[in-house]
Amino acid sequence: MSVLKITGGRTLSGSLRVQGAKNSALPLLAASVLTEGLSVFRNCPRLTDVTATVDILRHVGCRVYEEGDALYVDASGPIRPEVPDALMRRMRSSVIFLGALLSRCGEVTLSLPGGCELGPRPVDLHLAALQNLGAEVTQTSGRIRCAASRLRGGNVALKAVSVGATENAMLAAVRASGSTVISGAAREPEIVDLQEYLRACGALVTGAGSSVIRIRGVEKLRGGEKRILPDRIAAATYLAACASAGGSIRLYDASPRDMVPILRVLERMGCAVKTGENLIVLERQGPLVSPGPIITRPHPGFPTDAQPPLMAAVLKARGSTVMIETIFENRFRHVPALRSMGADIRTAGRTAVIRGVDSLRGAKVRADDLRGGAALAVAALAAEGETEIRGMEHVLRGYEDMAGALTALGAEARLTEKAE
């Protein structure tokens, strides 16, 4: 088991390159299955979720290899329309292979990981979208099978905003016969990244970033090249770390334009934030104050993935901060561990109220999910003494070498392995 030990009390300083976005890399890699060619993904983050996705690509018949920070995927050979449970179970976002394999092979059989740490994680919106495009869906004992001799374009009206369902609908539509309009689409920057890759492969798709995406189906797609956009949540996490610990850091290869609500919250907390084209500089010298209410929303609102690390950053902020989690029903699992470090947090349903305390103390805590684990590290930087965070394998799913990154910024952090 991976354990991160952090001794708090040191301010941060220095520069850090922002990794490629996990939530763009995963759908992009799955989308490469649609092409009869070689795709190149640059700035691909080194994450266990990426490794899990590559294992699925290899299982279905793609040849995958890396050179430097680029990942090459050759999907020109025959592709198998099924993914075994063992590979599906390793991460929630493998559901993106539903649309990719259905679109390439005309059928797909896979199991869907059930609920996860954030709540039930249903896929009804995904299945409804695929059925709108002509797929027949059957479910037998945890396995889902979708089939369509040829997907046909149509209107996909998503009843609720879903990043994954939007992505699956796009992948199913780009090679369907006819035109598709996806309304109620998610507007995340990662959706725009997916559109840019698909266009590089010859797909006819426009509108990503708005709530209406228009697609004209094409017969085949060639391989394409794409530089993966910066990870706005990883960037938010390290900015929260500096707000928590104090000091001044510089993030380069960042995308400040995708992070406006996060940067506004940090400024309201008392941090000085300067931005350039791909640069964010944050400085926190004086005491932190409550930024006022934080309500998570689909993009361009405050992102749910930044809620845990920003909660950790306000633990010692003067005043009370109300945080309302509107996207997932169980995304406060990091609260008990933060309380064991001396935080004053009360939760009721999807609302948390954080009252600023004068000090936090190091403790032995366990990460239960990816962003919750990151929150524990952010809090540990501002705590007196040593914090030991078990369950870091959750965090390594989405953060490249967090111990190395924090150490590079002046923190006392080291990752160790412990027998279970």
Kindly tell me which residue out of 6, 56, 165, 335 binds ligand EPZ, with binding defined by CB under 6 A. 165
353 SS3 class: strand
**Which one, of 359, 375, 110, 111, lies nearest residue 237 by Cα?**
375
Q: How far is the CB of 351 from ligand EPZ (least distance, A)?
A: 16
Tokens of 38: 């070689």
Q: How far is CA 358 from the centre of its chain?
A: 32
Q: Which is nearer to ligand EPZ, 45 or 291 (CB)?
A: 45
Kindly tell me which residue out of 32, 93, 195, 237 binds ligand EPZ, with binding defined by CB under 6 A. 93
* Residue nearest to ligand EPZ as judged by C-beta position: 164
Catalytic residue among 44, 62, 105, 116: 116
Kindly tell me which residue out of 46, 59, 121, 318 binds ligand EPZ, with binding defined by CB under 6 A. 121
d(CA 15, CA 109): 45
Q: Which is nearer to ligand EPZ, 89 or 355 (CB)?
A: 89
d(CA 101, CA 97): 6
Q: Is residue 164 a contact point for ligand EPZ (CB under 6 A)?
A: yes
**153 close to 133: Cβ distance less than 8 angstroms:** yes
Q: How far is the CB of 250 from ligand EPZ (least distance, A)?
A: 24
Q: Which is nearer to ligand EPZ, 239 or 317 (CB)?
A: 239
Q: How far is the CB of 159 from ligand EPZ (least distance, A)?
A: 9
Contact region with ligand EPZ (CB under 6 A), list: 114-122, 172-180, 218-226, 277-285: 114-122
Q: How far is CA 223 from the centre of its chain?
A: 24
Taking residues 351 to 380 in sequence order and writing x for each that binds ligand EPZ by CB under 6 A, - otherwise, the string is: -------------------xx---------
Total chain residues near ligand EPZ (CB under 6 A) = 24
State the SS3 of 176-208: CECEEEEECCCCCHHHHHHHHHHHHCCCEEECE
Kindly tell me which residue out of 101, 163, 312, 396 binds ligand EPZ, with binding defined by CB under 6 A. 163
d(CA 37, CA 12): 45
Q: Is 116 known to be catalytic? A: yes
* Amino acid residing at 1: M
Q: Which is nearer to ligand EPZ, 186 or 323 (CB)?
A: 186
Kindly tell me which residue out of 328, 342, 356, 375 binds ligand EPZ, with binding defined by CB under 6 A. 328
279 SS3 class: strand
**Which one, of 335, 329, 379, 330, lies nearest residue 353 by Cα?**
335
Q: How far is the CB of 349 from ligand EPZ (least distance, A)?
A: 14
* Termini Cα distance of the chain: 6
Q: Is residue 105 a contact point for ligand EPZ (CB under 6 A)?
A: no
Taking residues 6 to 45 in sequence order and writing x for each that binds ligand EPZ by CB under 6 A, - otherwise, the string is: ----------------xx--x-------------------
**Which H or E run contains 101?**
helix 97-105
265 Ramachandran zone, left/alpha/beta (phi>0; psi -120 to 50): alpha
Q: Which is nearer to ligand EPZ, 222 or 350 (CB)?
A: 350
Kindly tell me which residue out of 10, 126, 175, 226 binds ligand EPZ, with binding defined by CB under 6 A. 126
Residue 89 burial class via C-beta count within 10 angstroms: exposed 0-12, middle 13-18, buried 19 and up: middle
d(CA 307, CA 3): 23
Strand partners, 275: 280
What residues are labeled active site? Answer: 116
Q: Under the rule (CB under 6 A), what is the footprint of ligand EPZ? A: 22-23, 26, 93, 119, 121-126, 160, 162-165, 186, 304-305, 327-328, 370-371, 398
